[in-house]
């Protein structure tokens, strides 16, 4: 619904993005009597689960946990079909949320927010879209997602391939039939690891181009049994509380024993049990895996051993075995039959470390030692993560300062919720919050609730603006960096540090201090009258 009014529409809040974050934010604000509108670039809700429709896409947090907890009736009534829900089912859930809480009339689809400029005199945000909308909003809430800007590889000729190309993060809604095709896939991150077994089953031949091998743990996915579902449903309050009281927003318990204090037999038993259980819980095997190189090596060795057990060709197994970064410091992958796929006759692995890509050509792809012909190419090459979607919008705060300029040396936030110089602008799961290092549903609910409470407080106290102070922001950035440096995360060239985007400043962006610790800090800040924030109209 494009609009071209001369005086902009006045709203309490603009929300950008209709994934789980934007939808829940709209629901909360409406319930509190605020006027709000969501703008969404896609033509449906669901965000990640709307865009990432590649074969095999599914959650790697258990379905019972990767769901909203804010409505006890919803969580009792909804049923998941599998331990790890597939993309289509999560998208159905997202649509159910939109319908159940009657959110659709508050969401303007196919509309991209292009700019958000703070008008200091009015203390309001002037928000503009690519459809010509002009909105004046007291609050501007970015629910734009941490992994919502797909990235193509920086390879000469990337646009020159004559056949179809597909990015996993921008997959055709009608699906892709790979039957009889020669397919090339670039990338071996989570998206590739989920899609490769499915593409291999369909295609005549699949060539996997790997630059960095990843550690992957089997999902051990299962059909949801009604007994298990009911067992969780009977104790949902306690189950959700366990997740919120944990470091990663997960209900499953972490082992408090350090790997370096365990015997070799204890370690092998624990790793084997976690491997058999499947999923990300593998990293909770011991308390020191992401802190201590020696501890980490024991976990990494275990997984490398498994790769060699599964993959029949020892040379292929060796190429698939990560060696130059600690396990967990690039996002751990969770798969269904990934390593087994390399035993198929119609699958080949190309080690780009040995033979780098030189160019994509009209016929396919050329490496330093061979040319490959394909009928189609899949880019599983990831995202401009954490800051990508925010930096794509022309966001300007006080004195016309562009957010992109302020963040030229890396993102700076207070609590990953606000940025000094940008009053009443909020980021849901923003840089400097636990975000991608947690169960995102838990983090989304916590951020949305905090923002909703904050806006209510401002209204009750007749306070038009809230803005992070420079001092609080500096302290928080220093703390996020300190905590990050106390772990092994900085050792890997991951998207957590922006290493996948040339020119991006190398900063460990999420907060690894623990979801529970972080949420407590946010509660404390609010309880102290929004400590570290300046309240009022004319704060500089
Ligand atoms: P998103 O779902 O990314 O939604 C953001 C929305 O904002 C998008 O629809 C986008 O179109 C819109 N948008 C962005 N910029 C603009 C703009 N300028 N104007 C208008 N609209 C805009 N997390 C987990 O915890 N567990 C998992 O198992 C898991 N699996 C994942 C699998 C994949 C393939 C990917 C990519 C991510 C996964 N994640 C997972 C992370 C996932 O992104 C979050 O769990 C969650 O879905 C994020 O919700 P969101 O609403 O914050 O953002
Ligand atoms: P990713 O983890 O960033 O992986 C991108 C892959 O592409 C990497 O293997 C990367 O290699 C490779 N690549 C990029 N540019 C390249 C180039 N120029 N040449 C050769 N290779 C190149 O992206 P993703 O797989 O889409 O996953 C992103 C995140 O989304 C995940 O980490 C996870 O948080 C989430 N996700 C979750 C699931 C799930 O299981 N639920 C599924 C998908 C995604 P390098 O490593 O060498 O850079």
Whole-number Cα distances in Å, 361 to 94, 210, 372: 39, 18, 9
Q: What is the pLDDT of residues 279-313, one digit of tens each?
A: 999 999 999 999 999 999 999 999 999 999 999 99
Rounded Cα distance, 486 and 305, in Å:
28
> What pLDDT is stored for residue 537 in this prediction?
58
Mutate to test the pocket of ligand 1, among 49, 144, 196 (most ligand atoms within 8 A of CB): 144
DSSP structural state of residue 36: E
123 part of a folded domain: yes
Residue 51 covered by a domain: yes
Determine, yes or no, domain membership for 44: yes
Number of domains within the chain: 1
Taking only the tens place, the pLDDT of each residue in 205-237 is 999 999 999 999 999 999 999 999 999 999 999
Residue 441 domain boundaries: 9-149+385-536
Which residue puts its alpha carbon closest to atom 52 of ligand 1? Answer: 145
> What pLDDT is stored for residue 253 in this prediction?
85
- Ligand nearest to the backbone CA of 149: 1
Is 532 within the bounds of a domain? yes
Q: Which residues of the chain have pLDDT under 50?
A: 1-4, 538-540
Query: Can you give the pLDDT at residue 362?
Result: 98
pLDDT of residue 6: 65
User: In terms of Cα–Cα distance, which of 375, 370, 426 is closest to 397?
Assistant: 426
Q: Please report whether residue 518 resides in a domain.
A: yes
Instruction: Give the number of other Cβ atoms within 10 Å of residue 210's Cβ.
Output: 18
Reduced to 3 states (helix: H, G, I; strand: E, B; else coil), residue 253 is coil
- Domain annotation covers residue 26: yes
Ligand 1 in reach of 52 Cβ (< 6 A): yes
Residue 413 near residue 406 (C-beta atoms within 8 A): no
DSSP 295-352: HHHHHHHHHHHHHHHH-SSHHHHHHHS--SS-TTSSPPEEESSHHHHTTSTTEEEEET
Question: With a 6 A CB cut-off, is 211 part of the ligand 2 pocket?
Answer: yes
User: Which atom of ligand 2 lies nearest, measured to the CA of 188?
Assistant: 9
Partnered with residue 142 across adjacent β-strands are 16, 427
pLDDT for 99: 98
Ligand 1 site, residue 208, Cβ cutoff 6 A = no
For ligand 2, atom 43, the nearest C-alpha belongs to 191
Indicate which CATH number applies to the domain containing 144: 3.50.50.60
What length is written for the chain?
A: 540
Average pLDDT for the chain = 96
Distance (Å) from CA 178 to ligand 2 centroid: 21
- Residue identifier of the C-alpha nearest atom 7 of ligand 1: 17
Asked if 303 contacts 326 with a C-beta cutoff of 8 angstroms, the reply is no
pLDDT tens digits for 134-172? Answer: 999 999 999 999 999 999 999 999 999 999 999 999 999
Nearest CA to ligand 1 atom 23: 440
Binding site membership of 17 for ligand 1 (Cβ less than 6 Å): yes
39 lines ligand 1 (CB under 6 A): yes
Residue listed under structure tokens 């396919």: 364
Whose CA is closest to atom 4 on ligand 2?
189
Q: Indicate whether residue 154 lines ligand 2 (CB < 6 A).
A: yes
Q: What is the DSSP string of 127-193?
A: EEETT--EEEEEEEEE---SS-SB-----TTTT--SS-EEEGGG--TT----BT-EEEEE--SHHHH
Residue identified by tokens 């609050």 is 139
Q: Are 452 and 446 in contact (CB under 8 A)?
A: no
Tell me if 482 is assigned to some domain. yes
Ligand 1 contacts CB of residue 171 (under 6 A): no
Q: Is residue 180 assigned to a domain?
A: no
Ligand 2 centre distance from Cα of residue 151 (Å): 10
User: Does ligand 2 come within 6 angstroms of the Cβ of 59?
Assistant: yes
Question: For ligand 1, what atom is nearest to the CA of residue 59?
Answer: 28
């Amino acid at each position: 619904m494009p609009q071209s009014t001369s005086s902009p529409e006045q709203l309490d809040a603009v929300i950008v993005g209709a994934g789980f974050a934007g939808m829940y934010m709209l629901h909360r604000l409406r319930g509190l009597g605020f006027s709000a509108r969501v703008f969404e670039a896609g033509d449906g809700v669901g965000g990640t689960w709307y865009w990432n429709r590649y074969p095999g896409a599914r959650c790697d947090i258990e379905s019972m946990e990767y769901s909203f907890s804010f409505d006890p009736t919803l969580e009792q009534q909804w049923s998941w079909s599998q331990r790890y829900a597939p993309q289509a089912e999560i998208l159905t859930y997202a649509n159910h949320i939109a319908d159940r809480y009657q959110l659709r009339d508050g969401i303007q689809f196919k509309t991209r927010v292009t700019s958000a400029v703070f008008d200091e005199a009015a203390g309001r945000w002037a928000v503009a879209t690519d459809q010509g909308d002009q909105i004046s909003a007291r609050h501007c809430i970015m629910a734009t997602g941490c992994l919502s800007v797909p990235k193509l590889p920086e390879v000469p000729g990337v646009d020159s391939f004559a056949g179809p190309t597909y990015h996993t993060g921008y997959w055709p809604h009608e699906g892709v039939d790979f039957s009889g095709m020669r397919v090339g896939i670039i990338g071996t991150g989570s998206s590739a690891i989920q899609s490769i077994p499915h593409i291999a089953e369909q295609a005549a031949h699949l060539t996997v181009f790997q630059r960095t091998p990843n550690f992957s743990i089997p999902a051990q996915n299962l059909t949801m049994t009604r007994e298990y579902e009911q067992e969780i449903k009977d104790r949902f309050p306690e189950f959700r509380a366990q997740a919120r009281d944990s470091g990663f927003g997960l209900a499953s318990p972490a082992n408090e024993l350090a790997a370096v204090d365990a015997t070799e037999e204890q370690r092998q038993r624990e790793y084997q049990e976690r491997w058999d259980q499947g999923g990300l819980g593998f990293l909770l095997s011991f308390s020191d895996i992401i802190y201590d190189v020696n501890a980490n090596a024991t976990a990494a060795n275990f997984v490398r051993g498994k790769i060699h057990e599964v993959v029949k060709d020892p040379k292929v197994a060796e190429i698939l075995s990560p060696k130059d970064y600690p396990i967990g410091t690039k996002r751990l992958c969770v798969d269904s039959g990934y390593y087994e796929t390399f035993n198929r006759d119609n699958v080949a692995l190309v080690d780009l470390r040995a033979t780098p890509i030189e160019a994509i050509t009209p016929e396919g792809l050329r490496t330093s030692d061979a040319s490959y012909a394909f009928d189609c190419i899949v880019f599983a090459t990831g995202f401009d993560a954490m800051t990508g979607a925010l930096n794509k919008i022309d966001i300007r705060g006080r004195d016309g300062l562009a957010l992109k300029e302020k963040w030229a040396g890396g993102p700076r936030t207070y609590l990953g919720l606000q940025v000094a110089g940008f009053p009443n602008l909020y980021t849901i799961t923003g840089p400097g919050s636990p975000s991608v290092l947690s169960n995102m549903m838990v983090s989304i609910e916590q951020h949305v609730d905090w923002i909703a409470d904050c806006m209510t407080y401002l209204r009750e106290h007749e306070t038009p603006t809230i803005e992070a102070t420079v001092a609080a922001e500096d302290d928080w950035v220093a703390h996020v960096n300190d905590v990050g440096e106390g772990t092994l995360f900085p050792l890997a060239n991951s998207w957590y540090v922006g290493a996948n985007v040339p020119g991006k400043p190398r900063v460990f962006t999420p907060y690894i201090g623990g979801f529970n610790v972080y949420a407590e800090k946010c509660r404390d800040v609010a309880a102290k009258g929004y400590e570290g924030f300046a309240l009022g109209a004319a704060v500089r």
